[in-house]
Amino acid sequence: MDTFTLHRGTAPLFVSLPHDGTELPDDIAARLTPSARRVPDTDWHVSRLYTFALELGASMIIPRYSRYVIDLNRPPDNASLYPGQNTTGLCPIVQFSGEPVYQAGAEPSNTEIAARIETYWRPYHEALVTELARIRAVHGRVVLWEGHSIRSVVPFLFEGELPDFNLGTAGGASCTAELQSRLVAVLSAAREHTHAVNGRFKGGYITRHYGEPAQDAEAVQLELAQLNYMDEDTFEYLDEIAAKTQRVLRALLEACLGR
């Protein structure tokens, strides 16, 4: 079963979009609440938003299935990435709204979760490992860019309105200080947008696990407030607004390439 699409590029840049998927297997969809079947917590349209990265020679991996099936950016043991704060798990049972994902009594068992890890989670991560190794072997270095997006206001997860661009480098551990500095310079120059570095979003499992700057493998997560490219209520992609945001995204990825 094809659970993701992988585009192999020619540059030392790998774009991972683990929450872009929207599909639900029929047996899982039948157990979800009506609101959850809309998969509202999708990182909507990020593969469309980052299409330009292919022109830069980046590799890109795009999952097929929703994070409600399994969250590819969580550790397989489901350890919390943000201890003491509200978050969602490996196989989420709560939406970002605080509403349940599943109808009462229909939540996945531990056996089902283990099966989902093997079917969906492990193939994605094996592809990450293989492609990162290929890129590093060719170029001597690789930057893994984690492209994410979220509603600008999610009281369940954070107070107030999220900055437009939220850069996460695991507190500086997942990339070099030089790369982080270049990225911050790009964001600081984009004066029409707000930004934060290692704020509420410091980088998820993928950024923290695969970012090894001492081994010439850097990783960065960008959590983008969705109002910068789409209508947060209807999920409609807004071309004119998105085009402005893409200019900043392009500058960020070019900074990863050292251009």
**CA–CA distances in Å: residue 31 to residues 23, 41, 47, 112:** 14, 17, 28, 13
Instruction: Specify the DSSP element, H or E, that contains 224.
Output: strand 217-225
* CATH numbers and ranges of domains, the chain: 4-256 (3.40.630.40)
Q: What is the pLDDT along the chain (259 residues), one digit of tens a residue?
A: 799 999 999 999 999 999 999 999 999 999 999 999 999 999 999 999 999 999 999 999 999 999 999 999 999 986 655 544 546 689 999 999 999 999 999 999 999 999 999 999 999 999 999 999 999 999 999 999 999 999 999 877 888 899 999 999 999 999 999 999 999 999 999 999 999 999 989 999 999 999 999 999 999 999 999 999 999 999 999 999 999 999 999 999 999 999 6
- The token pair at 65 is 């299935």
Q: Rounded to whole angstroms, how far apart are CA atoms 170 and 166?
A: 12
